[in-house]
Structure 1
Amino acid sequence: MHEETNFELEERFLTADRLISEGQLREAAQTLEDILAEAPDFGKAHNHLGWLYETKFKNYDRAEEHYRLAVKFAPGYAAAYYNYCYCLAALRKHDELEIILGLALKVPGINYATLYNEYGMMREIQGRYDDAIHYFRLHIQNSFDSKTIDSAVESISRCERKKKLIV
């Protein structure tokens, strides 16, 4: 079943997005809350509220909840997966992160290089250096940007060094 696009809500969402980019965070948050009061299943608004709560208001519980709802209600919206992954990684919630990364790999148009980098960093934090190196190599294989490839090469070197230093 294909969802109908509510252009009025989409326009208000774009207004909130613009307000965020202009640094008008209170107004953006209020606009997003108003959208969700009218349409609690508007996943993109949940994503943006999650991002505000995580990065600007430092309320990680509310951020996680909004990201969870974003993925639930907008399963094809790649930004929600990236943001949710970054939040879970920062909180070192690896079990949840593993689940979201697995779901994200199935989203059409998702950037595999980004996801494999997240897998690599998670494995590195867990001390699973060989697994981390495997994912950083997948990151390289799926990347088309020289800077991100260079970063992955540095990550592999760092993991190799850690393997020697931490026994």
Structure 2
Amino acid sequence: MNEHYLDTEFQRADELIAKDLIEESKSVLNSILEEDPNYGKAHNHLGWIAKVKENDPVTAENHYKHALASVPDYGATYLNYAYLLSEQKRYYDLEQILQKAENVADVSKNSLAREWAYMYEDTKQYEKAIEKYKEYALTLYDSPLLEKAKEAILRCRQKLEILNL
């Protein structure tokens, strides 16, 4: 099959996910991988489905690893994998993924800053967390999200204050 066909099928799978037609989307994504086992975007989407819809982090991680190996410039995979690693509190692996993501043009920079901030806060590196929350906040245009970022900065400052009591 040609690449244009696979790209069209991938778009269809993406639209099925948007409509919450998960089984149909999985079928299309698996068909894509039968044609081209290295179609990384399909691996990313199957990873997302495994994690978010099926609560299967092992399958999700395998798909994310395939996706990163196949299309290292596809930004969505880095963030999806980061969410999984963050949830599992696997900070060493998370830091490695976030560092790699820094050099990928397609990665959402505000989401990346937010993920760094979460990791730093979780690992009690509050000064670094504050800087990343600020970086994140300055990219926002949505007032509720901006308020949440401000709250996160204040929360980290309070934690620092408690540490220094």
TM-score for both structures, normalised by structure 1: 0.89
2:76 to 62, 76, 79: 79
Q: Please tell me whether residue 156 in structure 1 is matched to residue 161 in structure 2.
A: no
* Aligned residue in 2 for 1:145: 141
* Aligned residue in 2 for 1:51: 48
Count of residue pairs brought into register by the alignment = 162
Q: Distance in 1 between matches of 2:112 and 2:75?
A: 11
Q: Distance in 2 between matches of 1:96 and 1:127?
A: 17
* Aligned residue in 2 for 1:94: 91
2:84 match: secondary structure? helix
How far did residue 146 of structure 1 move? 4.2
TM-score for both structures, normalised by structure 2: 0.90
How far did residue 10 of structure 1 move? 0.7
* Aligned residue in 1 for 2:6: 9
Equivalent AA in structure 1 for residue 61 of structure 2: E
Identity %: 33
2:120 to 118, 123, 140: 123
Q: Distance in 1 between matches of 2:54 and 2:142?
A: 34
1:134 to 131, 138, 143: 131
CA contact (8 A) 2:74 2:106 kept: no
Equivalent AA in structure 2 for residue 56 of structure 1: K
* Aligned residue in 2 for 1:41: 38
How far did residue 83 of structure 1 move? 1.0
2:110 match: secondary structure? helix
Root mean square deviation, CA, Å: 1.7
- Structure 1's consecutive aligned runs of 4 or more residues displaced over 6 angstroms after TM superposition are none
Unaligned runs of 5+ in 1: none
Q: Distance in 2 between matches of 1:32 and 1:100?
A: 24
How far did residue 9 of structure 1 move? 0.5
2:15 to 15, 18, 24: 18
